[in-house]
Amino acid sequence: MTIRHVAELAGVSIATVSRVVNGHADVSSQTRETVQRVIAEHGYPAGPRSRAGRTGQIGVMVPLIHPGCFAEILAGAVEALYEHDLQAVLGPTRHSRAREVSVLERLAGGAADGAIIVLPEESGQEFAALAGRGFPFVIVDPRTEMAEGIPVVAAAHSSGATQATRHLLELGHRRIAVIGGPRGWVATEERMRGHHAALAGAGVLPDPALVRYSDFRIEGGREAAARLLARPDPPTAIFAFNDGMAAGALQAAAARGLRVPADISVVGFDDTVEASITAPALTTVRQPLAELGRTAVSLLLRQMQNRRLEPLRIELATRLVIRDSTASPGRAPKPGPDRH
């Protein structure tokens, strides 16, 4: 039973339920009685703000608000918190470890009841120490491997990469270049593992000359793709490990006078809003970004309510979305709607 359910059953707004739960006087007696009756009948607990020692605030730490992947995770988390009458305290860290440590110390010191931390800079050992202090938190999309027992929500990176590479192989591509993210990041390593699994399934040996590592940014993808396309034996397809770098690959192809997908196919990863508005529309792997945020809130609330956490690591499914940026080598498809 969430605050949204109570509002629907009582026929009032979520804000009205919040005012009743928190004892505000600006609610009519009839409305207050209706809301309280629904709460009594369905067991909705008083919000965290009414419990001793609680602030009703949850820290949500993200490296940046933009690009779209972080914004969508944030939107899912904030909506879920709102449904539970909790407020989000936003803390952009800008990939600064010092800034992240400072913000997290303030949150754990009493400024918030818990935290959701997206792509953190700190190590698994440091988070294990934080968990030992009793401060509830959940990691979303960890940059490095987390220690056992740390609650983590992530996407199925390897499965998504396998789907993307298999799609290119089925189209007839054999010289498939890869633009990965930073070396050592969980997302990079797992996506590379999925890519290699698909190659192995088709009996294709990976070619190290067709691999470049970059920074998950458009400019980095453009530079990496330019180097790949300048080779004397260039690839027929490029699999970029996020949509930003895939957009950069599209730019690099255009700069060389190459047509996508007639001359080169391009695949991304994430399915942010930009993927559907590039020209051509980008074939990509869809991560359930907003659901990552919502699931993190669910895990966090279980901790705050002292309920057992099983499992501590949740992996959400990914799937390939086929659009117009991929085709058989040397043959472009007719434009059409998304093909799944």
The pLDDT tens digits of the residues spanning 50-69 come to 444 588 999 999 998 877 89
Do 166 and 277 fall into the same domain?
yes
- What integer pLDDT is reported at residue 142 of this predicted model? 95
- What integer pLDDT is reported at residue 49 of this predicted model? 40
The CATH number assigned to the domain holding 35 equals: 1.10.260.40
Do 72 and 109 fall into the same domain?
yes
Beta carbons of 100 and 62 less than 8 angstroms apart:
no
Classify residue 274: in a domain, yes or no.
yes
Who's near 149: CB < 8 A, 6+ residues apart?
128, 131, 312
Burial pattern 288-309, b for ≥16 Cβ within 10 A else e, equals bbbbbbbbbbebbbbbbeeeee
Do 85 and 227 fall into the same domain?
no
Do 152 and 297 fall into the same domain?
yes
DSSP structural state of residue 122 = S
Q: Domain range spanning residue 146?
A: 57-156+289-317
Do 175 and 136 fall into the same domain?
no
Domain total in the chain: 3
How high is the mean pLDDT in each 10-residue block of the chain (340 residues)? Answer: 79 79 77 86 57 78 86 95 92 89 88 94 84 88 90 97 98 98 97 98 97 97 98 97 97 97 97 92 97 96 76 91 95 45
Classify residue 17: in a domain, yes or no.
yes
- What integer pLDDT is reported at residue 105 of this predicted model? 87
Q: Residue 218 and residue 175: Cα distance in Å, rounded? A: 22
User: In the chain, helix, strand, coil percent, each to 5?
Assistant: 45, 15, 40
DSSP structural state of residue 90 = E
The CATH number assigned to the domain holding 122 equals: 3.40.50.2300
Do 162 and 214 fall into the same domain?
yes
3-state DSSP call for residue 283? Answer: strand
Classify residue 340: in a domain, yes or no.
no
Classify residue 8: in a domain, yes or no.
yes
DSSP structural state of residue 322 = B
Burial pattern 30-41, b for ≥16 Cβ within 10 A else e, equals ebbebbeebbee
Do 278 and 244 fall into the same domain?
yes
How crowded is residue 176: how many other Cβ atoms within 10 Å of its Cβ?
A: 23
Who's near 107: CB < 8 A, 6+ residues apart?
59, 89, 91, 115, 135
Beta carbons of 60 and 90 less than 8 angstroms apart:
yes
170-215 confidence digits (pLDDT tens): 999 999 999 999 999 999 999 999 999 999 999 999 999 999 999 9
Do 212 and 313 fall into the same domain?
no
Do 230 and 198 fall into the same domain?
yes
Do 107 and 147 fall into the same domain?
yes
Who's near 264: CB < 8 A, 6+ residues apart?
229, 234, 235, 236, 237, 238, 253, 258
Do 161 and 280 fall into the same domain?
yes
How crowded is residue 267: how many other Cβ atoms within 10 Å of its Cβ?
A: 32
Classify residue 269: in a domain, yes or no.
yes
DSSP secondary structure letters along 153-207 = EEE-HHHHHHHHHHHHHHHT---EEEEE-STT-HHHHHHHHHHHHHHHHTT----
Task: Count Cβ atoms within 10 A of the Cβ of residue 334 and give its class: 0-12 exposed, 13-18 middle, 19 or more buried.
Answer: exposed
Do 266 and 298 fall into the same domain?
no
Who's near 307: CB < 8 A, 6+ residues apart?
none
- What integer pLDDT is reported at residue 44 of this predicted model? 63
- What integer pLDDT is reported at residue 335 of this predicted model? 44
